[in-house]
Structure 1
């Protein structure tokens, strides 16, 4: 029992770690999924087989295969899905207009105000001389950006960490991938429709109910034509309902779909933005020459601490290089997974219906074949001269192909704005609490082993002391 599929890889000569009955290879994730993927890549090469419980995972790192699988005209683009294919196309078409450059420019001043709050907070706390936990600081910034741009709510969670809205949002992002519900659905996929029927979810019921109620209130307010509404993603999603001429509304987002997208926005946006910013500042603090070079570019682009704008952020080449290198070193989306809806053959490998194709992004980003000295922080990898030589199927911090991350430009904008604001005003230095070199946790999510703690010094002080 629980081993009937275990010969699926042997038949095709595909190597992989030996699976256990029922559990498959899941127990190996306790060492960290990213670490397990790197080990397998070194041991088994460009393709290997895993089992999440009974589900076969075809794991591939060959760029040619990945392109054939995930590219716009690849085999998997027609045979894979996270949501059902037509449903996904519909959702993507409805959500894409909310992430246009025009909409992002409208939201820029909203995000900038939280960059200013961040600077004031760092100045106040930095003056006390105590080192600061970067995840806590940038977690608050990320939460403020998400709540304001997604929900139109002004909170300032740096100074109001106990706000009820923040408390409910934080509960959503504390779910564990070792939650019995998550584990049981991986081990026994037949339970998923039963859980759905019983309305059982990994997300806390009180938080979900809170956001359902909030969406309902916002919908009522949106009907008030006399009331001015600040642009936010929730408002833009609700506009698909009022703009849709189709009364059956299959071309509009339902209330539950809006709630689901809002929750995903919190879950994905908070973790990725706050973690990447914390990793970035650790790398800059431990590489002062790179930090100085980036500050010089910011000074040149924005003299006398001029406020940044959308166009200036896009123009800063070294900022782009630094952020790209951080996303290579620490891809928060360290795996891409796609479910195969039908039997397909890819480069001579038969992938049966119900199997999963896995792209181990972290392992690819740390492969010395593509990245010399892969553990080193070298932003020059992404300079103009080198960027054209990078295979897009070995660098995928936001995925690739038709199903890449829809919020990519928004995430980059909020990260670039935060880095520009803080580096205009401060230098970040290691202190005795700073872990050097940085080690990653063995948890499921890509996190540092110890909190990233740094000393924050106003640039006026560093310049005066020079």
Structure 2
């Protein structure tokens, strides 16, 4: 018995010793490249600091201490934080072909693998050509009526709450608007999820979002800490999206597609995706990453049902919480700065002739656009964007070996005093045409940059603007005594208020 125990103990000691030596070698990566950064925790790297401080505080600390290029470790995996605007332009635009893909360390399942965000090389080119088409102005202006329907639900829900109180948390209201507008814009499904809490489609979308965010982050951490976990997840065919959600949403989209094939004439994003797919005349060879014209064969190379389902689902995953948080943070900024709120109201009253907002009406509100951009500067929804190094590359004297992961710390870039003097101050005038022209374009990248930026950003900004205009027309917002100022931020990889966001709401006494 003693010999068995001794053998086990010796085996454990040998395993831990080998693991330590492997990790020590892995953690010497940046020393060899002469890139500075914090001392990583054994096995876990920077992860304990994420839990302690959150990405926002940590990124500010790292960039201020080590400069615009910082080496950190996710477990044993090296990650380079790049906050230098010129380097970002090289990576995302000038030398894009060397940094075309995102670094994905874990197979998240066949559905997410077919999304624009997580696909690679030729498949990404193919998907991007089809999906990005539907977010152009000629399509977006056709869904403004659906956004108006969803803002009407939001206003109705606020009115019901105002019968009892005028201080309340706007996070839940805006989350409901976000899912309502996504359902209506994507499927033509007009729902008021704040009132109808039992709606099956909304429930599945929320479940998919919650499971998807946790199902991506936690396994990724496990694989970074213990590389063997990657093979284990693969062996068990890991899927970040629960089976019941996949089946329900696949069935839903398939039914909607069949209905559109037979009926036609729908003005929603799903119909536009199908139309774009039929019209596209591109074949993409995902093996050699080439494209060629094929006008007479276009019908054979449409998006598959699986690809459409996958990207519809990802549209919800990417837009649900982020759209809501942007609306909430915009209202917070306007509540805190009443002079800016008055200016937005004045612009609305001077430029809109009726309550029936149109796409052109919204696009012509230049000061509102400045307010939204300044909100996204201070409160960017996604805190980091990443790229994978496709081949050994040197930028500004720094070598990036093939396979290295690069991430852009958006929050820290936006709050860098070299990019934005007095960065804590809310000042929409930073985004006047004159001031924008004086800045490096890569100093403000809330939606990423280059060909691989966020394909849905035009929709997201349109939805936020529609909601804000509709609300400012009817209500005056001020900070609630229940609200922390500044708001406490959740320690997640996307930005949201930790405990909701409370505002005081008063009806405006005069019509515009």
Task: Using structure 2 for the length normalisation, give the TM-score.
Answer: 0.84
Gaps of 5+ in 1: none
Partner of residue 490, structure 2: 441
CA distance in 2, matches of 1:166, 1:298: 32
Shift of 1:138: 1.0
Q: CA deviation at 1:259?
A: 1.6
Matched, 1:368 2:417: yes
CA distance in 1: counterparts of 2:316 and 2:254, whole angstroms: 18
Given that residues 48 and 58 in structure 1 are in contact (C-alpha distance below 8 angstroms), is that contact kept between their aligned partners in structure 2?
A: yes
Asked which structure has the greater CA Rg, the reply is 2
Separation in 2, partners of 1:167, 1:186? 32
Please list the CA deviations of residues 269-295 of structure 1 after superposition, one character each: whole Å capped at 9, or x if unmatched.
111110000011111111111111111
The CA distance in 2 between the partners of 1:250 and 1:24, in whole Å, is 48
Q: Does 1:12 align with 2:33?
A: yes
Of 57, 63, 68, which aligns to 2:85? 63
- Compute the displacement of 1:194 (Å): 5.8
Are 1:24 and 2:45 counterparts?
A: yes
Contact 1:148 1:154 in 2 (8 A): yes
2:76 to 47, 50, 54: 54
Paired residues, what number?
Answer: 457
* CA shift digits 1:349-401 (9 cap, x unpaired): 22122210111111000011111221111111112321211221110011111
User: Following TM superposition, by how much is the alpha carbon of 1:252 offset from its aligned partner in structure 2, in angstroms?
Assistant: 2.0
Following TM superposition, by how much is the alpha carbon of 1:264 offset from its aligned partner in structure 2, in angstroms?
1.0
Q: Kindly report which structure 2 residues correspond to 1:177-192, keeping only aligned pairs within 5 A, or say none.
A: 177=214, 180-188=218-226, 191-192=229-230
Secondary structure in structure 2 of the residue aligned to 1:393: helix
Residue aligned with 2:503, SS: strand
Name the residue aligned to 1:340.
389
- Give the whole-Å Cα distance in 1 for the aligned partners of 2:30 and 2:66: 13
Gaps of 5+ in 2: 1-18, 103-118, 281-294
Q: Deviations over 1:60-101 (max 9, x none)?
A: 111111111111x32x43343032211111111111221111
2:133 — aligned with what?
97
Over 3 Å counting, the alpha-carbon distance change for 1:370 and 1:240 in structure 2 is closer
Q: Tell me what 1:203 maps to.
A: 241
Per the TM alignment, residue 342 of structure 1 is displaced from its structure 2 partner at its CA by: 2.4
Greater shift in the superposed pair: 388-397 or 251-260: 251-260
1:144 corresponds, among 180, 190, 209, to 180
How far apart are the structure 2 equivalents of 1:353 and 1:249?
A: 37
TM-score by length of 1: 0.92
Kept in 1, the 8 Å contact 2:223–2:230? The answer is yes
Call closer, same or farther: CA 1:100–1:356 in 2, change over 3 Å: same
1:92-131 alignment to 2 at 5 Å? Answer: 92-131=128-167
Structure 1 pair 408/167, CA: closer, same or farther in 2 (3 Å)? same
Separation (CA, whole Å) in 2 of partners of 1:411 and 1:445: 15
> Which deviates the most, 214-223 or 322-331?
214-223
Are 1:386 and 2:449 matched, yes or no?
Answer: no
The equivalent of 2:105 in structure 1 is none
Compared with structure 1, are the counterparts of its residues 193 and 301 closer, same or farther at alpha carbon in structure 2 (3 Å cutoff)?
A: farther
Match of 1:313 among 359, 362, 371: 362
For each residue in 1:20-54, what CA deviation from the matched residue of structure 2 results, as whole angstroms up to 9, or x when unmatched? Answer: 33322222211211221111001101111011122
Note the C-alpha offset of 1:151.
Answer: 2.0
Per mean C-alpha deviation after superposition, the further-off stretch among 185-194 and 77-86 is 185-194
Q: Deviations over 1:374-431 (max 9, x none)?
A: 1111111112321211221110011111111111111111111111101011111222
> CA, structure 1 residues 243+381, in 2 after alignment: closer, same or farther (shift >3 Å)?
closer
- Change beyond 3 A, Cα 1:61–1:113: same
Q: Deviation of residue 258 (structure 1)? A: 1.4
